[in-house]
Structures are given as C-alpha cells and as structure tokens.
Amino acid sequence: MGCGSGSCGTAKEGEEPAGCGSKGGCSTGSCNKNNVSDWLADMPLSFNENFNIVEIAFKKGSRKGFYRNPEHFDLHKGQLVVVEAAQGFDIGEVSIQGELVKVQMKKHKVTERDDTIRNIMRMATEADINTFLDGRNKENETMVRARAISKSQNLQMKIGDVEYQGDGKKLTIYYTADDRVDFRELVKVFARDFKVKIEMRQIGARQEAARIGGMGTCGRELCCSTWLQDFKSVTTQAVRYQNLAINTEKMSGQCGRLKCCLNYELDTYNDALKKFPKNVEKIETEEGVAVLRKTEILKKQMWFEYEGTHGSPFKLDVETVAELIWMNKSGKKPASLSNYNVVEETIVDESKHDDLVGQVSLTSLMEKERRNRNKSRSKGQSSGNRDNRGGRQENRSNENRPAQDNRNKPQGDRKPQGDRTNQQGGNRNNPQGGNRNNQQGGNRNNQGGNRNRPQGDRDKPQGDKPENKGPQTPDNQ
C-alpha cells in the first residue's frame, strides 16, 4: 500500500521531498485512499503495448475511474492529467497503469470495450492546476455552508463530503439519509448561493466513512479507506458464530454499522464448528447431569458443569464429548467427568526476566508521593514550632539570667524565699500574690522579689544552705 514509484518521497538534492507531510514516509498509504502499489512500474517493457487504459484517482483516492490514453502520453504515478467529464473536464492523478489495471478492471467487472470509459485530454497545465487548487481550498467552507442551509430546510439528511470538479463549474454533494429526501428546493438554494451546477449523490454509511477516513479501534487506518472496496453485508450471525459478546458499542465501527472485520475470520470459525457435535446441551453421568457452559472453538474444547454447582467446570475435548454423547444414547452413563477433564500444564519460561516496571502501578506511586509530601509538611511545621519555642526560652533566660561574670562568684547567705506554690508569695497563677507578671509580691522581674537581685554579701563565702522543705523562719527572727 505504499507509494510504489516513490513520487512522494523523491526529492532533489538539498530539498525536502514533495507530497504529504510525513516527509516521504507513505508506508501506510495515508497520502492516497485505496492506494495500490504499482510494483510493475519500473519494468521497461509492457506485456501488451496495445493496452492504453490508465486508472485515475480523484480527491486523494476517494473516487477512482478508468480512462483511455489515446495520445499515448508518457505518464507516471502521481502525475496530474485532464480527463473528460459529463460536462466540462476534470483533473485527477495517475494511480496505476500497465498490467495491474487489467487486474483492477477484472475486479470491478469493467471490460476494455466499455463505452463508459472516457479519454485523457492532456497533461495538466499551470492554469488547470491553479483552478483545481482553488476548488479544493473552498470545499471545507462550502460543506459547512451546505450543512447550515440543509438544516434551515428541516431535511432529514446528513452532508458528509463535497467535491468541486476540476474546472470549477460543478459541485457534487455527497449525503446520507435513512429515507427518501425531497431536495428540489434545496438544490435551487445551493445553485443560487454557490453559483455552480449542483449534483446531489446519496451514499451509504460505509461509503461515507471510506471518503472521510479515520482510525479504527485496532489502531490502524480504516480498511474501507485504505484497501477494502467491496462492502459485504455483516450480520449478527457472524458475532454468534465467533462467541463474541453482542455489544453494539464494541461491534460497531465509525460508520455506525457492524465492523467489516467481523467477516474476516468467519470462514475459519465455520470450518472449526463442523467438527463440533450438534445439539449438545447436557451430559448424564452417575454423579449428576452436566450442563454446557462455554465453547472454545479454536481450541476445540467444551466446558461442562454439574447442575447446582458453580466455579468447578470440567474442560473436555470435542472427541471426548462425542464419545460421551454416544454413551448416553446407548443407555450408559460415565462415572464422572473428572476422569475426562483436560489439564493443561503451565510452562514457565525462565529465560524471560521479571518485568519490574510493570509491577509498579500508578496508584502506588501517587500514594507514595502523597505520603512524602505530608511528611515533609509536618516536619516543617514541627521544626518551626520548635524554633519559636526555643527562641522564647532563650529570650526569657537572657532577660532573667544574671551576668556571666557574677554566676561563678560565691554567694552569701541566701534568704529563704517563700514557696513558689504559696498563694501569697510564689504562686505563679495567683494574680494577687505570686503572679509572674504582677509587679507586687513575687514578680520575678520586680526589684522586690527578683531572684537575680544580689542577696546578702555576695563576696562572703556561702554558708550551709538550709534544706528547702517548705516555708521556714530565719534564725535571727
């Protein structure tokens, strides 16, 4: 599906390659819908020189057609040419030529003598290309305007795409609708507004998705916009045969219909189902009646479980099930299904290393980060409180502590002070007596009761300190 001639990726020395914005990486065919690799393009001779039909693509492969080359122009892939149209002319690019065109014509059931095949008029000139590009630049704005007009007419239709003809004299509007739409008045409004000839063309939902393009749930480009051209009907039987859950959201594509890929493996499942016994719902044993719970088509296995039990199924091969059904028809019952249970051995590949990255979940990382953030916040608050408390203690000790020179001097007889817990003298909490902030009584900063005030003769040697066992009376009293 890549660009066979490399026209998108070829460039002169020192220049960037022309074509799509992927700079020459057209490996998926995204630069041209329904792209075909012309792997015979580099062959010098053709097998049939009289064959002069070329496939031309319009609007990046959204529409293709076969055209004759009566003048035998020297064409190559991606070259713009002017072709005949029903009225006027159109401009397209060469998709494939040579022997591969015969294969495509056979696929679409088109013969060489078909009268619908038109001719290639000439190579596109610079004026033709400018007209062609002007029409392409107006298509987006025209589609938005056309949708607004159709909505004002209250018509049950959806405009999916618009396309200007190469000469700019015709506008084709593609739409989808469930019922028949009377758009006679709508065409008059379009012709008066856009001032060109209008052609309304109804397409299906799959054709609309093929023209628009997009990405599928598999992560690749849509099959209908890259290589699939025949749209076969897809029914719910394809879902049932493959034992898939009937979920409209998962089974539907961007077109709103069942996915085309449901038919890809249907033949394989149908061939595998031919080996399964038919109408198998129950197997009678001596332990009880076993009921069919699940069928694995590709593994050719069937799961049975006794009635009234849950969570203990037995896995049997298709040949074993056919043998047990034959025994039941003969009037015999097997002892138990456990004798026929298939046990699969788990093979541990020791060559692989443990995925240490996969063991760490995003939730655990977020929880660890949150704990570290809370720990750092609480640590910062506690250190701030401790610093404030230390600052207050340091200030208080500096204010009440005596000078450093006097701390080591001998003190004289210290007069016994009243008990600090005394309500009259040293009670800290008593506002009348020993309040620390009260200027009367035992205020520590007061000149009367300040403990830093020199008591007695501090130069005299200190005598024996009386034991402070409560309030005492001095000896001289």
pLDDT digits (tens, 9 = 90+) for 107-117: 889 998 888 89
Average pLDDT over residues 253-269: 92
User: Taking a C-beta distance cutoff of 8 angstroms, is the pair 216, 209 a contact?
Assistant: no
- Give me the phi and psi of 381, to 5 degrees please: -65, -40
Whole-number CA gyration radius for the chain: 47
pLDDT for the residue numbered 105: 92
Please write the tens of the pLDDT for every residue from 423-468.
444 444 444 444 444 444 444 444 444 444 444 444 444 444 444 4
Cα–Cα distance for residue pair 472/467, rounded to 1 Å = 9
Cα–Cα distance for residue pair 158/160, rounded to 1 Å = 6
User: Taking a C-beta distance cutoff of 8 angstroms, is the pair 84, 72 a contact?
Assistant: no
Residue 414's contacts (CB-CB under 8 Å, 6 or more residues apart) are 455, 456, 462, 465
Strand, helix or coil for residue 201: strand
What is this structure's pTM?
0.60
Structure tokens at 176: 């989808």
Q: Which of the four pLDDT bands, split at 50, 70 and 90, describes residue 360?
A: low
Q: Which of the four pLDDT bands, split at 50, 70 and 90, describes residue 361?
A: low
Q: What is the distance in angstroms between the CA of the first residue and the CA of the last residue of the chain?
A: 120
Residue 332's contacts (CB-CB under 8 Å, 6 or more residues apart) are none
Strand, helix or coil for residue 336: coil
Count Cβ atoms within 10 A of the Cβ of residue 98 and give its class: 0-12 exposed, 13-18 middle, 19 or more buried: middle
- Taken in order 57, 58, 63, 65, the sign of the CA dihedral is negative
pLDDT for the residue numbered 463: 46
Reduce the secondary structure of 109-156 to three states and give it as a string: CCCCCCCCCEEEEEECCHHHHHHHHHHHHHHHHHHHHHHHHHHHCCCC
Cα–Cα distance for residue pair 120/89, rounded to 1 Å = 10
Least confident of 120-129, 200-209, 284-293, 412-421: 412-421
- The one-letter amino acid at 429: N
Beta sheet of 282-284, edge-to-edge order: 282-284, 289-296, 301-306, 314-317
Please write the tens of the pLDDT for every residue from 265-307.
999 999 999 989 888 889 999 988 999 988 999 989 999 999 8
Reduce the secondary structure of 342-364 to three states and give it as a string: CCCCCCCCCCCCCCCCCCCCHHH
pLDDT for the residue numbered 230: 82
Average pLDDT over residues 74-82: 91
Q: Which of the four pLDDT bands, split at 50, 70 and 90, describes residue 24?
A: very low
Q: Which of the four pLDDT bands, split at 50, 70 and 90, describes residue 91?
A: very high
Average pLDDT over residues 337-362: 68
